[in-house]
Every structure is written in C-alpha cells, then in structure tokens.
A and B are shown apart, each in its own frame.
Chain A
C-alpha cells in the first residue's frame, strides 16, 4: 500500500479505539464500516477471516483485530500503526479515569452512564452478528457448525479456544 495511507490508518483506528465501548465485539460494526465499506482496504470475507485469527490468538480481540487489519493493509508498519491508533485514546482516557478513580467510582452518574449504554451495546453486537452471518455465502454446513458452537458455549464448561479448534476440524471434515 501507499505509505501516505498510514496516517489514514492511524486516524481510523483512533476512532475505533475512542468508541470501543464494551470491549471487542460491539465495535466490529464500526471497524467493518470504516475498513471494508469506506476505505475498501479489505473485503468483508477477508475481514471475517482476520477476525477468526484474532479470536484464536491470545490477547484482546480488539488489539488483535487492529494489528491484523493493519498488517493486511500495510505490512509490519501497518500493524504497528493500527495497534498504536487503537490503544492511544483508550490509554489517555483510562489514565484520566485512574487519576480521578475514587471520584468516578463512587459517583452514581458513572453507573448510570454504563447502564444507559447497555442496550446500544447489545444492538451493536446484534449488528456484528448479522454482518458475520452475511460475510459467508449461506450453507447448511455453516448453520450446523454455528449451532454446535452455540450449544457448546451454552454448557459453559468448554474453553472457547478448544471449541473453535473443533470448528476448524469440522470445517475440513464436513
């Protein structure tokens, strides 16, 4: 890619970091909108593949996604720029929050803010789910594996990592 695009990548992931409430998944629609639809850096299908790797590798999904998308867009420097971009706003905000943490933690407005955000986070998660369902062509194989995964998660006894390894095996066998 053109090195002149690195600042655009940085700015894009700074926006992602700034609005990444609720951890990794609710922010997926934002990343997809920016990276796939707006800048056309990667396709929806590529994005879904990167996300699968981001989930498998240890570390926060948000940071892993930033480094993988960054890598796909601009190699090693792209990965570094993506991670720095996504981390910078959260670092600044969290430092300020920590500085005033006693004040914030006791304050009921903070709790009200978190509760007020919740329905929107669930809506973003639903949107991420729809995006993911649409990123692959429909097949019964996909429905079966997704159903099995959902059921395996519901037992709450299995580690998500091993469940995903199982889905990879099923992907080859079925």
Chain B
C-alpha cells in the first residue's frame, strides 16, 4: 500500500462513524485482502483491548467495595473531566472565525441540553444543517 492510499484511508476513517483505529484497520485489511482481510484486521484490532478490559473489569468489580478504590475513581473521574475540558477548548478553536459554525454549535447544544432532544436526532439535524449551509468552507476545521 502506498502512502497516498493510506492517507485517503485515514481521512475516510475519520469521516465514517466508528473509532478511527478500527475503521483504518478495516480499510487496510480490505485493500490488502478483500472482505475477509477486513474481518481479520478488525478482529485482530478488537481482541487485545477486549481481553484487557474484561480482565481489568473483573478485578475492579471485585475490589470496588474498598474505600481506596472509590478515591482512585474520584481522581480518575476528575481527570477525565479535565481531559474533556481540554479537548472541548481545542475543538472550539477552529470555530473562532466561523460565525455560521458557532451559531450551529450553539443551536445544537441548546437542543441537547435545554430541550433534551435525543442525540441521534441532534446528529441527524446538525449534520444536515451543516451540510446544507456549507459550514466552515474556508477553514480546515476537522477535529485534531
């Protein structure tokens, strides 16, 4: 596989639904060995995390009654919150000079948080509105 094909694959993997890693695995597997290649690549990509998650899950569930574990999770949850805040700030940056984009962002957040629309409905409406209005045509505002 040449570099250009791989670049196309990663771009498409980001645009399609699903985790980037598994999407890229499907792309590479499919290009190299057809549909079965894609299946094999996907399974190979899923097995290690699945085994680790389940192993860890069992251990954590067993010891989750200990007060120390509760404190560890307090820390981790605050850490994830910090991670999300950081991610949110860096994702908001490309919207700075994109008035249409900011308006769409605000509208979708309003639908989600205030009107409590189902996220699937918000994704469908937001995607369609963004597509039709040609949001962010000047800048390159793909998530980093």
Taking beta carbons and an 8 Å cutoff, which residues of A are in contact with B?
15, 17-25, 27, 29-30, 33, 48-49, 51-64, 67-68, 71-72, 76, 79, 83, 86-87, 89-91, 93-95, 97-99, 101-102, 104-105, 110, 112-130, 132-133, 135-136, 141-150, 152-154, 160, 163-164, 166-172, 174
Contacts and interface: CB of A to CB of B under 8 A. Distances in A.
A94 to B, nearest CB: 4
Contacts of A150: 82-83, 85-86, 89
Given A20-B18, A101-B12, A95 B48 contact: no
Given A30-B120, A145-B82, A119 B101 contact: yes
Interface of B: 8-9, 11-23, 26-27, 30-31, 35, 38-39, 42, 46, 48-50, 52-54, 56-57, 60-61, 68, 71-89, 91-92, 94-95, 98, 101-102, 104-106, 108-109, 112-113, 118-120, 122-123, 126-127, 129-137, 141-143
A119 B135 contact: yes
Nearest to B20: A23
Contacts of A67: 49-50, 53-54, 57
A71 B38 CA distance: 26
Contact of A60 (B27, B49, B119): B49
B105 A29 contact: no
B109 A126 contact: yes
Given A90-B23, A94-B16, A123 B87 contact: no
A49 B78 CA distance: 11
A112 B91 CA distance: 18
Contact of B84 (A15, A17, A132, A168): A132
9 contacts: A23-B143, A57-B56, A62-B18, A91-B18, A94-B23, A118-B95, A124-B108, A136-B77, A146-B81
Contacts of A123: 104-106, 108-109, 112, 122, 126
